[in-house]
Structures are given as structure tokens and as C-alpha cells.
Copies of this chain bind each other. A is one copy, B any other.
Amino acid sequence: MCELLGMSANIPTDICFSFSGLMQRGGKTGPHKDGWGVAFYEGRGCRTFHDPFPSSNSEIAKFIKHYPINSRNVICHIRKANRGKVCLENTHPFVRELWGRNWCFAHNGQLKGIKKKLSLEHFEPVGTTDSEHAFCWIMDNIYKKFPKPPQKDQSLAVFIAKLCQTLAEFGVFNILMCDSKYLYAHCSTKLVWITRKAPFGKAKLVDDDMTVDFHQQTTPKDVFTIIATAPLTENEDWHRAQKGDFLVFKDGQRKIFK
């Protein structure tokens, strides 16, 4: 299995603190030693770093831990390979372009028989994971249903939620996905999230001897949400998503379409 980490923020925010915690699970406090990757959105652009080596001693991971990249949407993944060999092209998050937007996807879980049962048309996997196949199938379906972006964002969110339901029938489907505007999350077995806003307090990492005082690092207007497969801090209350939950985040907060 793998671990996921995502962030949605109302202003460009660095994720160094949470990233530091997650990276420890890549071969040190966790068994996820088969590579890692992260995607940072900056405006319409998307910057990704991938590494097929364990994150706990990756040179690139060390660099990112100390080089704050400010972003409003981040998706990060550390991998414990189940399907597909350990190599760069099998490393999440996967990226595709649709409607002139960068779409990004990371998955925790396994999807049995998906390659045989769900065929692809426009988007094809570069690697051999069931995860990338699932992402391409989502993109294919969005493109077929909406050759151009739908007028209402709600229509898109509702459609993606349905696609996730279908995919979850193949096995475990905890995911994070971003279309540059919204951060989408589906919970199959495990997904937690926490929204931080003023008054900010201190947080202590579960996986590393590290504490941060968000009060020192933020302004009262800042709002950001961290989503992960397991709580990253030990002194905060994380919301726990339920099986089948589909969550949408924007500008640092959960967005509920009515």
C-alpha cells in the first residue's frame, strides 16, 4: 500500500512541515520505500518531482524539504509497490492535460482486473500500474462526457464522484486528484483531513521529532487543509472520511456543492 498527502490552501503555502513527516514513512517509519512523487500547482502551471528511490534518503526529497515551494494545491505520494515494477514511470502522481489544464492523480490501493474490464481510448498509461490505468480511464470519461469544460463546476464534481464509485468496485480506491482548480478526494478505506485556520496553534509530527507553531508562520487570513491516508500530527483532531466519501476542496476548505 502507499500513502497520500494533499493540501488545498487559499494563498500559496509551503508544505515543508507535512512533507517532512510523510517522507519519513518512505523507508524509515514506514515501509513505503518504492519511490515517491509530489506535484505543486503554481498558477496554471504544475511542478512535479518524482523519484523511484526511498523518500527517507532521497537527495531530491532532502532538497524539497529545505526549499519551500509555495502552492495552493499539492499532491504527494509515497509508494509501496504492489503492481508494476519500481521505476520512474510507475511513480505517482501522474499528470495529464485536458482543456488546457494540468490534471494530477495519486492512488492508494489495488484495483483487481481493471485493465481487462475498463478499456481506454484517448489517454494511455506510460507505466504499468493499475493506478495510472484508473487515472487514464477517468480522464477518458471526462473527455468523452465534456469535450469542453462544463459550465457548472458542480456537474464535473458529481461526474467524477460517480467514476470514483465505479472504480472503487474493483478494490481499494483512496485517491487525491486535482484539476488545477479543485482538489478531489475519494475514500475507500482510509482518508483523514484537517483544516487549519486562525487561531493557529502548534502541531507535532507523528513521524519525526519536529514541531511547528503555525501562529508564527501564517497570517490570520490563511486557511489550508491537509488531507492524508493517516494523521501526520499527534496533537490535533483529524476528520476521518467514511467509506465511499467523495470530498472536494477549494481555497483551503471543504466545498459542498448544493
Contact = CB atoms under 8 A, between A and B. Distances in A.
Contacts of A49: 47, 49
A30 interface: no
Nearest to A90: B45
Interface in A70-95: 87-91, 95
A43 interface: yes
A97 interface: yes
Contacts of A101: 126
Interface stretch (A104-112, A117-125, A217-225): A117-125
A63 B58 CA distance: 13
B126 A89 contact: no
A30 B155 CA distance: 49
A93 B127 CA distance: 21
A100 B125 contact: yes
B122 A122 contact: yes
A157 to B, nearest CB: 21
Contact of A45 (B91, B97, B102): B91
A47 B88 contact: yes
A45 B96 contact: no
Nearest to A101: B126
A236 interface: no
Interface of A: 42-50, 59-60, 63, 67, 87-91, 95-102, 122-127
10 contacts: A42-B88, A43-B87, A44-B88, A44-B126, A48-B48, A60-B67, A97-B123, A99-B124, A100-B125, A102-B126
